[in-house]
Structure formats: C-alpha cells, structure tokens
Chain A
C-alpha cells in the first residue's frame, strides 16, 4: 500500500474546528449571548465551519495536485483499539469520494450556518442552536472522513444524536419533542442493522468454519476501508444458513442505511423531523445526514459488488421508495412535508444509483441534491418566515411579487429537481436512470427494467408535485388573513445570500458530470474513478447503446415537461378549484395519499401497540409475579430473622444475663464481708500473714 497515499497531519483539523465551536457555544455560549449579543454565537459557529471548509479545500487542492492513483491523504491521529491481531485507529482519510462529501458538508453546511444567523435571530437560545449545529458538523465530518468502519459508526451515531437534539430543539412543544424521539428510536432500529453488519463482517473476516470447527485467521484484522478493499475477497464463498455471507453483511448494513437515509420501511421519521428549525431540515434532513447511507454503500462498493442479491435489494428498495414517497408528496399541504417526502424520494434515486453499481451517479445525485434541496428547504424557511410561521400552502399564494428573491431561487431549485436541462438533477438523475436501465442484473434479468420504470414514474411525479408546490405557494391570490398578509416581507440578507449561492450551484452544479454522449469531459466521473474503478469493472452493460441513451434522455426531459404541464393544468395560476374537483372524483385515492398510506397508523397498530401491550403484560408479570416473589423472599427473610432474633434474645442474651445475675448475686452476699470496720480488716490481715507463715513453714518442712 506504500506509495499510494500521502501522510498528512492536518485532516483532523476539519472535524476539530466545529467541535471547538460546539464546545465554546455549548459552555459559555449563553453568557456570550447575554453579555455580548446573539450575533457572536453565530459568528463563532460560522468561523468554525468555514475554517473546516478552508482546510477541506486545501486538502482537495492537494488531491488535485496528485496523480489519480495517488489521490489519498491519510492522517493517522492515534491507535484506538489494538487487541491481538485486531487494529482500529482514529485516522482520517481524504480520497476523491470523501473529499466530495467533505466539501458538500462544509460548503452547504457553511451556507446554512450563514442562513441560520438570520433565521434563528429571534430565538431565546441561539447559543444552543449553534452549538448543536456545530456538533452535527463535527459528527458528520467524522463520518465522512473516517478511515475505518468503526470510526464511521461513531460519526453515524453522532449525527443521529444531533438530529434528535435539533428536531426536538423546541422541546417545549410536546409534538416536536415526540418527533425527535421518533427519529431517534427509528434510527436506533436501523443502527442495530448497521452494528449487526459490522459484527458479521468482523466475524467473517476473522476466520471461518472448517471441518475442524471455527478457525481464527492468522492475519492482522482491519476495518480500514483501503485494507478491506483487498481483504473482503476472503468472504467469497462463505455462507451463513445457506445465504452468502456477503449478502448477509450487505443487507444488514443496508438496514442501517434505510434508517439513516429514510428508505422503506424506516422512512417514517423523516417527515416528522420537519418539526425542527428549517435550516436544520435543510442541513441534516436533506443535504447531509440522510445521505450517509448512500455514502456508506458507495464507500463499501467493493463489498456490495460481491453480492448481486444485496445490490438488487438496494436498487429495488430505492425505486419503490422513490415512487412511494413521490405519490405522498402529491397531496401534502405542509410546505415542509412536501419537501420531506421529496427528500425521501430523491434518496430513493440515490439508492437506485448505488444499487445498480452506478456509484458515481449516486454520489453525483447526492451532491446536486444537496444543492437544490438545501435551496428548496431554505426557500421554504424564507417563505415560512415571511408568512409569520404559517406552513400550510393552501393558506399562501401570490407570494411571487412579494418575496422575489425567494421565489426565483425556489423556482431555479424546482427546475433543477424536476430534471429540466441544463439544471443539476437533469444530469445526475438521468445518469442514474440510464445506468439502472443499462446495467445487467445477474440475479433477476428483468430487474433493471422494473427499477427503471418505477424510477421514471417517480421522476414524472417529482416534476408534478414540485410545480404544484410552486403554483400554489407563489401564484394566484394570497389566501392568508389580513394580519399575516400585512407582515409579508423578504428575508434578511444573510438568508437571501445563502439562497442565491445555492440556486447558482443548483444550476451549474450538474455541469461537472455531463454524460459521455455530449463528448465533453465528465469531470466528476473521472474524479471518482480511482475509488470505483475496481467495482465498476465487474459490472456488465446490457449493451443498449448510444441511440437508446439518447432516447431515454429525451424521454426524461419529456417526463419533466409532462409533470410540469400536468401541474400547470391543474394548479396553474395558483387555482385550487380544479384540483378540488379532481379530488372529489378520486376521494379514496386522495385519502390514501394524504394520510401517507396510513403507514404511521399501520406501524402504530402492528409495532407500537403490540409493544406497548407487551410492556403492559410485563408490567403485570412484574407486579403480580416478580413482586410476589420478592415479597415472599422478604417474608422468608423476616421470619428467619425473627427466629434468629429469638435465639439471640433467649439463648445468647440469656447466657450473658445468667453470668451477670450470678455475679450480682454473689456480690450481694460477698459485700457483707466489707464491714467498713478497720479492725476486722486487720484481723483478716493478721490471719493471712499467719497463714502465709504457716504455709511457708509447712512447704519448707516438706521440701
């Protein structure tokens, strides 16, 4: 491995800056807020995260300066666990993949920090907000920069914690606190899968079952991503209960990814997570944390490529989620809920990408999604800000003229997510769908077509629900009450600045990954090539050819236009009457979509209620059986101690009393000797002396 990477000493600074920011704001932030002012908390947080960005950019430039095969910076901080042949270090790696993630996290995260300064200015505990936000940046950077799976898991848990803290930021509201708990618990289920995957992986690499029993391997065990790229080959052929071990590991890890990245069946927490402050929704629940699952699969591409079954499951789940969430997005009335389901849907696209082996396309979509979805969320925050906290789009309308910057940036991001050329998602989503269509599936031959079909319908749906949102929110007459309408105003500069930058990135961000068809250099794919080339080489094209690719691309654009036209037809000019007429005709379907297919209710009935019933049953057992047993034990102890006490009282104490009484009785008689008369004593003394003399005489005589 020597000569393939550079050892550097500064990567640890990238997560370190936000950690310091979090500590400063967390410990003395309240004091600064009171004594100096809220702006200082914001400045501290911003300085921390932008310092990270600059460091990351320096690392990125170093990478660019290297030969493609040597593009890897490693910063070994210290050895964390060293048990026998098992080595885990706290070390950070920046290769092309983690460089992309780091820049997205610090860059988009930095813009959201700037935006937050304006957004959170009216809150009571600004210091707490920025402390959490920086802590999140720290955990996320540990996640993406970690050199090994265990350290990644530390970051993985860290972002989960911060997500919980920030969703429940306004914990005075019980609903919001509950949403935080829901996110935490659902993520915990996923994390169980992740942890199980790690353990399976360790177990698989540490040895194997032979005819003589389990044999530990002799070699040094390592969770290092670069080392594992070679050592996972040892998993080939191993099985657990007749299933390939690689599949078991990949599926377990994917369960973790469905929790963190909100896929079926664990997506339910993400829409509820919108209870948090809007910039948090943009940063954690759209741009960065929820993409951790995609990143993890891309990071472990060499492992997933070993299990076509697991890949098929990932792609299938992604496609299903993409469509499922899009259809829920059709009917939601809360602006943030629409965007939340849109996020779930877009994450589905990313999983299609990594699931069909198009890791580059998946990561590319991850990046462009970070731009346009952050822009959309921040835009929605700006809208909510303007509407004095109103989130129901049916009570908005006609905002186009009143908050122009928000409108235009929102529109650009909408065009981007809908897949209109030349905006960002056109390139990334198209690449995913094309790869989904073209990559052969060795397990189920018709799988690519099914995935592609679901994805394409989801893309159509994306365009529809996004334009529905735009039309209802920004066009037509304002449906707000007089009071709110009077207050509508454009957001402060810090907020619009972030919006403009993100809108710009949503526009040009896709240009670095232009498909081969245009005969322009695909910088992004070229950049990630060193990470994925080995895995990519194992995939086979179905040989659909350039003509088909052109055709599909045109079809994608057609879908985007179709979605837009459908939305314009129904909601054009911000009208709701047509929509209501349609809804009246498909009342049943509408209700299913509006109530999110009753999945929450289903989980409540199938998982939560039985669980509560179980706890009640256990409580009953506790009260009636365990407590009785405890009481019985107590009663037995009491009885025994009573018995013991009686022995003490009557036998031991009795003996002691007898001795005492005897002595007292003896004293009563003996005291009479003490007459107090001097001459009685003298008599006794003389008698004694005489006795001694007599005795000594006698003894002398006998001797």
Chain B
C-alpha cells in the first residue's frame, strides 16, 4: 500500500465532501459534507504520519493532529447543530437557500 493510494482515497473523500457542501439544500447535509472534508484531512495526516519516520518510531505529530481534529470536529458539530436548531426554531426551515437574510 502506497501513500498515493491513501491520498487518492482522501482526495475523493474531500471532493465528495465539497460537492455535498456546495450542493445540498439541507443545512444538516451541509454539515455532514463538512465532516467528510475534515475526515479527508485527517486521513492525510494519518497517512503522512505512517509513511514518514522510521519503523517502530513513527512521526507522532500527524496522529496528534488527527486526534485534535476529531475533538474539534465533535465540538464544531455540537455548536453547528445548536445553531441550526436555533435557526429552525426562528425560521421554521433549515433550507440554506431560504436563509438569505444578509442580502441587501
């Protein structure tokens, strides 16, 4: 297994995530796309961590970053869901196309 194959998987994952963020109408789906992008980045960190450094003494920084990002993603999901909930309560919808209050 080479690093390229892992990076390819991560790239595909990132593209799917981006596509999801740009095209989904539902805010929760957008949030799920963001999760995909974060995990693509995570995959990259872990891959580079595994393939650099020597056997038995891998480069740890990448894994630390990965753990960090998972924690951050959890926190982000919590805050984002809370915001979405608040929006739903106020607007009665979570369709991002309808949330254009900042326009003019």
Give Cα A671 to B103, complex, Å: 8
State whether A678 touches B99 (Cβ < 8 A).
Answer: yes
Stretch from A15-23, A115-123, A395-403, A679-687 that touches the partner: A679-687
Give Cα A671 to B104, complex, Å: 7
State whether B101 touches A676 (Cβ < 8 A).
Answer: yes
Give per-residue flags for B90-104: 1 if the beta carbon is below 8 A from chain A beta carbons, else 0.
Answer: 000000110111111
- Within the complex, the shortest CB–CB distance from A672 to chain B, in Å, comes to 8
B21 in the interface (beta carbon within 8 A)? yes
State whether B96 touches A676 (Cβ < 8 A).
Answer: no
State whether B100 touches A676 (Cβ < 8 A).
Answer: yes
Q: Which residues of A contact B100 (CB under 8 A)?
A: 675-677
Number of interface residues of A (CB under 8 A): 10
Given contacts A677-B96, A677-B97, whether A682 and B21 have CB atoms under 8 Å apart is yes
B55 in the interface (beta carbon within 8 A)? no
Given contacts A682-B21, A686-B22, whether A674 and B96 have CB atoms under 8 Å apart is no
State whether A676 touches B103 (Cβ < 8 A).
Answer: yes
- Within the complex, the shortest CB–CB distance from A683 to chain B, in Å, comes to 6
Give Cα A674 to B102, complex, Å: 8
For B96, give its contact among A671, A679, A683, A686 (CB under 8 Å).
Answer: A679
- Within the complex, the shortest CB–CB distance from B1 to chain A, in Å, comes to 27
- Within the complex, the shortest CB–CB distance from A581 to chain B, in Å, comes to 121
- Within the complex, the shortest CB–CB distance from B17 to chain A, in Å, comes to 12
Number of interface residues of B (CB under 8 A): 13
For A683, give its contact among B22, B99, B101 (CB under 8 Å).
Answer: B22
Give Cα A678 to B22, complex, Å: 9
- Within the complex, the shortest CB–CB distance from A677 to chain B, in Å, comes to 5
Q: Which residues of B contact A675 (CB under 8 A)?
A: 100, 103
Q: Which residues of B contact A671 (CB under 8 A)?
A: 104
Q: Which residues of B contact A677 (CB under 8 A)?
A: 96-97, 99-100, 103
B28 in the interface (beta carbon within 8 A)? no
B1-40 with Cβ < 8 A to chain A = 18, 21-23, 30
- Within the complex, the shortest CB–CB distance from B19 to chain A, in Å, comes to 10
**Nearest-neighbor residue (CB-CB) of A678 within chain B:** B96
Give Cα A676 to B104, complex, Å: 8
Q: Which residues of A contact B99 (CB under 8 A)?
A: 676-678
State whether B18 touches A686 (Cβ < 8 A).
Answer: yes
State whether B97 touches A674 (Cβ < 8 A).
Answer: no
**Nearest-neighbor residue (CB-CB) of B104 within chain A:** A671
- Within the complex, the shortest CB–CB distance from B90 to chain A, in Å, comes to 16
**Nearest-neighbor residue (CB-CB) of A672 within chain B:** B104
Q: Which residues of B contact A674 (CB under 8 A)?
A: 102-104
- Within the complex, the shortest CB–CB distance from B26 to chain A, in Å, comes to 12
- Within the complex, the shortest CB–CB distance from A664 to chain B, in Å, comes to 14
State whether B22 touches A682 (Cβ < 8 A).
Answer: yes
Q: Which residues of A contact B21 (CB under 8 A)?
A: 679, 682
B51-104 with Cβ < 8 A to chain A = 96-97, 99-104
State whether B22 touches A676 (Cβ < 8 A).
Answer: no
Give Cα A683 to B103, complex, Å: 17
Give Cα A8 to B101, complex, Å: 102
State whether B102 touches A676 (Cβ < 8 A).
Answer: yes
Give Cα A675 to B100, complex, Å: 7
**Nearest-neighbor residue (CB-CB) of B99 within chain A:** A678
Give Cα A679 to B18, complex, Å: 11
Q: Which residues of B contact A683 (CB under 8 A)?
A: 22
Give Cα A571 to B98, complex, Å: 131
Residues of chain A having any CB pair with chain B under 8 Å: 671, 674-679, 682-683, 686
Residues of chain B having any CB pair with chain A under 8 Å: 18, 21-23, 30, 96-97, 99-104
9 further interface pairs, Cβ-Cβ under 8 Å (given A671-B104, A676-B103):
A674-B102, A676-B100, A676-B104, A677-B96, A677-B97, A678-B96, A682-B22, A683-B22, A686-B18
Contacts A/B (CB < 8 Å), 18 sampled:
A671-B104, A674-B102, A675-B100, A676-B99, A676-B104, A677-B97, A677-B99, A677-B103, A678-B30, A678-B96, A678-B99, A679-B22, A679-B30, A679-B97, A682-B21, A682-B22, A683-B22, A686-B18
Nearest 5 CB-CB pairings of A with B: A676-B103, A676-B100, A676-B102, A678-B96, A677-B100
